[in-house]
Amino acid sequence: MTALFAACAAVLVLSAIGVVVSRHPVHSVVGLIVNFAALAVLFLTLSAEFLAMIQIIIYAGAILVLFLFVIALLTVGSDPIERTANKLPEQAGQAVIAGLVALGFIAWGIQADWTPAAAKAAPDLGTVGTFGVQLLTTHVFAFEATGFVLLVAIIGVVMMAGRRETGARS
């Protein structure tokens, strides 16, 4: 179990770095797929079976495919890689410092004592059945809210991407 976790953790971090440093976006997408797969395994170790499933189906299956479509759409005739001169050369250093500072704060923050006050035995935590019951009883409002968010997103995308280009835009 510990070995599994260690392996997944290593894959997770390395693939994340790969996503960030790849010059070509398609390589990044591949890294992200690997990353999400490792994450799904980690969800399983946290007995979140349903989450592991949707991590694969929704994220890897839907969102990343969307990314791939967009890459394909934008790169007709050219490579979508950064070739223009960097207008903010100092940004990289500042970003790394900011990231490390944030990491320091997080590391400091997670040192609290997280032991639950009363340990509860919950053998079926995260199964599809439990999840479904929770989603349609206790958290039904959140469930409805997600539906609304998606509706708004669909309308927004249709409004933006579906518009005919006018000649005014260069």
Partner 1 sequence: MPLIPLDDYLVLSAAMFVIGLIGFLVRRNPLTMLMAVELMWNAGNLVLAAFARNFSDMSGQVFVFVVITVAAAEAAIALAIVVMVFRRRPDVDVDDISVLRG
Partner 2 sequence: MDAVVANIAPQILFAPLLGCLLIAFVGPRLPRSVSAVIGCTSVFAAFALTVGLAAHVWHLPVAAQRIDLQFGTWALVGQAHIGFGIWIDPLALTWMLVITGVGFLIHLYSVGYMGHDANYRTFFAHMNLFVFSMLLLVMSDGFLWLLVGWGGVGLASYLLIGFYYDRQSAVLAARKALIMNVIGDVGIMIAIFLMFAHVGDQSFAVVFARTGAFGTSALDWIGIWLLVGAVAKSAQLPLHTWLPDAMEGPTPVSALIHAATMVTAGVYLVARCHPIYDRAPAAAEAVAIVGAASALFAATIGCVQYDIKRVLAYSTMSQIGYMFLAVGIGAYTAGAFHFLTHAFFKALLFMAAGIVIHNLGGEQDIRKMGGLSKRMPFAFWTFLAGTLAIAGVPPFSGFFSKDSILDQAAALGHPWLFAVGVAAAALTAFYMFRLFFSTFAGEYRGSVEPHVERVPAMEIPVAILAVLATIGGFLVLPGHDTFSALLAGAFPDAILPLSLADFDWPLVLGTLMIVAAAIVTAYAMYVISPQLRADVSRRLGGLRLLLLDAYHVDAIYHLMFEVPAYALAQACGVFFERAVIAGVPQALAAATSALGGLSRGWETGYLRRYGLTIAIGASLLLYFVIFGLHDVGAR
Question: Which positions lie near partner 2, rule CB under 8 A?
Answer: 87-88, 91, 94-95, 98-99, 101-102, 105-106, 108-109, 112-113
Within residues 24-43, the interface with partner 1 by CB under 8 A covers: 25, 28-29, 32, 35-36, 39, 42-43
Nearest to 134 by CA among 48, 45, 67: 48
- The span from the CA of 32 to the CA of 14, in Å, is 10
Decide: is 120 part of the binding site for partner 1 (CB under 8 A): yes
Binding mask 97-116 for partner 1 (x = CB under 8 A): -xxx-xx--xx--x---x-x
Q: Min. distance of Cβ 27 from partner 1 in angstroms?
A: 9
Decide: is 136 part of the binding site for partner 1 (CB under 8 A): no
Q: Min. distance of Cβ 91 from partner 2 in angstroms?
A: 6
Residue ranges of alpha helices (H) inside the chain are 2-21, 25-45, 49-54, 64-74, 91-109, 128-136, 140-161
8 Å CB contact between 59 and 37: no
Q: Min. distance of Cβ 96 from partner 1 in angstroms?
A: 6
Decide: is 2 part of the binding site for partner 1 (CB under 8 A): yes
Question: What region does 82 belong to: left with phi over 0, alpha with psi -120 to 50, or beta?
Answer: beta
